[in-house]
Amino acid sequence: MVASASQLAQARVPLEQRDFCAHHLVRLLRCHRDNFPVPWGCHHLRHHWESCQHEDYVMRMKEFERERRLRQRQKRLRKRQEATEAT
């Protein structure tokens, strides 16, 4: 993580949004506070935060799929080894 826990607490980032993209969210929330009546002035920061969120999601899904395939491979190897030991 780029942002520390104290920075996130100081920026009042909700606990459920304290993830690997929280540093982008801190900048976005600061921009929203600084440009209060004009929320569309922070569009580029929202884009960075949403892009980071999407990339994080894609990486988590890739890691999950990799782990799932490794578990399946281990099961196949275990079955093959049991079959060769039984004969």
pLDDT in tens, 10-65: 888 988 889 999 999 999 999 999 998 887 889 999 999 999 999 999 999 999 99
Look up the pTM and report it.
Answer: 0.77
**How many folded domains does the chain comprise?**
1
49's CB contacts (< 8 A; 6+ apart) are: 21, 24, 25, 27, 28
- The Cα–Cα gap between 50 and 34 comes to 20
- The Cα–Cα gap between 86 and 13 comes to 58
Do the beta carbons of residue 34 and residue 9 sit within 8 Å?
no
Q: Could you list the residue range(s) of the whole structural domain that residue 15 is in?
A: 5-86
Do the beta carbons of residue 73 and residue 41 sit within 8 Å?
no
Q: What number is the average pLDDT over the span 69-83?
A: 96
* Residue 1 pLDDT class (50, 70, 90 cuts): low
